[in-house]
Amino acid sequence: MTNKAIRALAGGGIVTAAAIILVIVSFTSKADTCYMCSKPLASHGATLYHLEFTGGKEVTVCCAHCGVGCQMRMRNMEGDELESVRTLDYLTEKSINGAAAYYLVGSEEIPCCVPTVICFEEQSSAERFQREQGGKVYSLEEILRLPMEKLMKAG
């Protein structure tokens, strides 16, 4: 291979890398991937988790695992307060208030990120699901008190 060809190849490689980075930046700036783990949101319709902050900032994440992680991360940062949390009941797919939901952590059913965090509107359905799939049920307040490392070990 000639030096000219190598230089051309190297140049082409740089251009390609720049183009890929551009594509990634423009892709993630749109809200079609998870704010925390960058999973495409379209494939996680049943577990989507939406956070709204007092400053008007809105964040959509793939599931409650990333939703809780996002709240833990925000809590440690200056700025906007969390105003509301919407998510879906895992069984009925009904839109529910995430602040009042029951969170089943570490069940064997794995709809999205691991360790799994699955939301239910009713405590009774969370506990019924827990009996079949394992894990532990928490309120949002309780889950936010868990050590972050324990919850977020895997993505």
List contacts with Zn ion (CB under 5 A): 34, 36-37, 39, 61-63, 65-66, 112-113
Considering the complex, state which of residue 4 and residue 73 has its C-beta at the smaller distance from Zn ion. Answer: 73
Q: What is the closest distance, in whole angstroms, from the C-beta atom of residue 46 to Zn ion in the complex?
A: 11
Nearest to 71 by CA among 46, 97, 53: 53
Considering the complex, state which of residue 77 and residue 154 has its C-beta at the smaller distance from Zn ion. Answer: 154
Q: What is the closest distance, in whole angstroms, from the C-beta atom of residue 144 to Zn ion in the complex?
A: 17
Considering the complex, state which of residue 78 and residue 108 has its C-beta at the smaller distance from Zn ion. Answer: 108
Q: What is the closest distance, in whole angstroms, from the C-beta atom of residue 60 to Zn ion in the complex?
A: 9
How far apart, in whole angstroms, are the C-alpha atoms of residue 137 and residue 80? 28
For the chain, strand residue ranges (E) read: 49-53, 58-61, 82-88, 95-97, 102-105, 117-120, 136-139
Q: Are 69 and 151 in contact (CB under 8 A)?
A: yes
Considering the complex, state which of residue 62 and residue 137 has its C-beta at the smaller distance from Zn ion. Answer: 62
Q: What is the closest distance, in whole angstroms, from the C-beta atom of residue 142 to Zn ion in the complex?
A: 20
Strands laid side by side in the 58-61 sheet: 58-61, 49-53, 82-88, 95-97
